[in-house]
Amino acid sequence: MTSPAGIRRAGYIAVVGRPNVGKSTLINTLVGAKVSIVSSKPQTTRHRVLGVRTEVDAQFVFVDTPGFQTKHRNALNQSMNRVVTQVLAEVDAVLFLIESLKFTPADERVLKLLPTGTPVVLVVNKVDQVADKPRLLPFLQAAAGRFPFAEIVPLSALDGKDGDRLLGIVGKYLPESEPFFEEDAITDRSERFLAAEILREKVFRLTGDEIPYGVAVEIEQYETEPSGLRRIHAVIWVDRDAHKPILLGKGGEHLKRISTEARQDMEKLFDAKVFLQCWVKVKSGWTDNAALLKSLGHE
Ligand SMILES: Nc1nc2c(ncn2[C@@H]2O[C@H](COP(=O)(O)OP(=O)(O)OP(=O)(O)O)[C@@H](O)[C@H]2O)c(=O)[nH]1
């Protein structure tokens, strides 16, 4: 960080990019705690998730925005695009992620939504996958011609050192300000929200390709007992009858594994004992129902 001694900077940074470019991975690397979802499947991030990183002289508040869904135009996608537009109007800097040596029509659509009055840093991710490094240079030059980027930073979101380098670069664009969050804050979202995120991640990770998008997690009940024990009742909503047995598995074994792994992650994150009960229920057509989406916490 280069700000003069005693001066603190703080600001909001949006992370945008098409699905699967590595936004969640980058945020996890930058924030150093598991507050977002990482999955090999596209379009797992539907919420705005704030991750906070506090350095000696700057605080970075990252806003993880959903990827753009362009294949299916239903209520879920429209709500996603609204979130993106909202987020971009509010921030101090934008990180626009693309993948090394790829610039797809989906990237182009994200590019069109970038603000011109806000510094945009182009993050060229997954450089570790490029065997032939000299091929990067012309790619970066071409990218520089597409938009007045404030900076262009090739990196691997999996690499902590690259993350620190990026922080040094982004820090310059943050305004002078007192920090917004307590030093140890990792998120402004409640435990209840994090519990849902963790459970949703387990469903995606452990269920394979059979259930790509039609899954939502709802925390019906969340209680902290005087002993510190968290008592959580969760519903995993699926939009087809056929998906229920897939999630349950033989004799309920699969659901048991999902909930056990989710509980273990929650206990680690909350530093407390967790009692987690999960049900699988079918709600047909939920991805097309804006009112229901809202009731499930989607914006
Ligand atoms: N090799 C390599 N893989 C990466 C890198 N960054 C992310 N990935 C992988 O790319 C996949 C997608 O990463 P995510 O972080 O889930 O992508 P995302 O942009 O958040 O995706 P959505 O949530 O769908 O918008 C995961 O399998 C990551 O492990 C990287 O720098 N190098």
pLDDT of residue 275 exceeding 60: yes
CATH of domain 191-295: 3.30.300.20
Per-residue pLDDT band for 137 (boundaries 50, 70, 90) equals very high
Q: How many other C-beta atoms lie within 10 A of the C-beta of residue 261?
A: 16
Q: Averaged over 138-161, what is the pLDDT?
A: 96
- Output the pLDDT for position 33: 52
| Predicted local confidence at residue 296, as pLDDT | 55
Contact status, residue 42 vs residue 20, Cβ threshold 8 Å? yes
For atom 27 of ligand 1, the residue with the nearest CA is: 40
Answer yes or no: are the C-beta atoms of 187 and 52 closer than 8 Å. yes
Q: Which of 25-29, 148-152, 295-299 has the lowest mean pLDDT?
A: 295-299
* DSSP line for 76-103: HHHHHHHHHHHHHHH-SEEEEEEETT--
Taking alpha carbons only, the member of 90, 61, 75 closest to residue 291 is 75
CA–centroid distance, 24 to ligand 1, in Å, is 7
| Placement of tokens 């993948």 in the chain | 99
Which atom of ligand 1 lies nearest, measured to the CA of 17? Answer: 19
pLDDT for the residue numbered 43: 35
In angstroms, the CA 254 to CA 280 distance is 11
| Mean pLDDT in residue range 89-102 | 91
pLDDT at 290: 57
Q: What is the mean pLDDT of residues 265-276?
A: 89
- Kindly report which listed range (96-105, 125-134, 146-155, 177-186) carries the lowest average pLDDT score: 177-186
Instruction: Kindly state the average pLDDT of the residues 250-273.
Output: 92
Q: Domain extents for the chain?
A: 9-171, 191-295
Q: How far is CA 233 from each of CA 10, 84, 187, 244, 267, rounded to the nearest angstrom? A: 37, 30, 22, 18, 15
- Of 235, 251, 246, the closest CA to residue 208 belongs to 246
Give the largest CA-CA distance in the chain. 62
Q: What is the mean pLDDT of residues 46-54?
A: 60
pLDDT band at 36 (very low <50, low <70, confident <90, very high): very low
- pLDDT over 90 (residue 97): yes
d(CA 299, CA 295): 9
Q: Looking at residue 295, what is its pLDDT?
A: 56
Residue 42 banded pLDDT, cuts 50, 70, 90: very low
Ligand 1 centroid – CA 26 distance (Å):
8
142 closest CA partner among 107, 186, 91, 166: 107
State whether the beta carbon of 130 lies less than 6 angstroms from ligand 1: no
Residue 277 reports pLDDT greater than 90:
yes
Q: How far apart are CA 188 and CA 12, in angstroms?
A: 13
Contact call for residues 96 and 114 (beta carbons, < 8 A): yes
Look at 214 and 272; give whichever has higher pLDDT. Answer: 272
Tell me the mean pLDDT in the region 80-89: 65
Instruction: Give the pLDDT score at 271.
Output: 80
Q: Of residues 99 and 66, which shows the higher confidence score?
A: 99
Report domain 9-171's class: alpha beta
d(CA 189, CA 269): 13
24 lines ligand 1 (CB under 6 A): yes
* Beta-strand pair 9-16/49-54: unpaired
Nearest to 101 by CA among 152, 128, 67, 135: 135
Res. 71: pLDDT tops 90: no
Cβ of 128 closer than 6 Å to ligand 1, yes or no, is yes
Is 28 annotated for ligand binding? no
Q: What one-character DSSP code corresponds to residue 4?
A: P
pLDDT tens digits for range 207-231: 876 665 678 888 998 888 888 899 9
pLDDT-derived band at 194 (thresholds 50, 70, 90) equals: confident
Place of tokens 């922080």: 167
Q: Is 171 helix (H, G, I), strand (E, B) or coil?
A: helix
CA atoms of 174 and 193, how far apart (whole Å):
28
Which residues on neighbouring strands pair with residue 238, listed in sequence order? 215, 282
207 touches ligand 1 (CB under 6 Å): no
**Which protein residue's CA is at the shortest distance from atom 10 of ligand 1?**
22
Distance from Cα 62 to the centre of ligand 1, integer Å: 16
User: Does 19 carry a binding-site annotation?
Assistant: yes
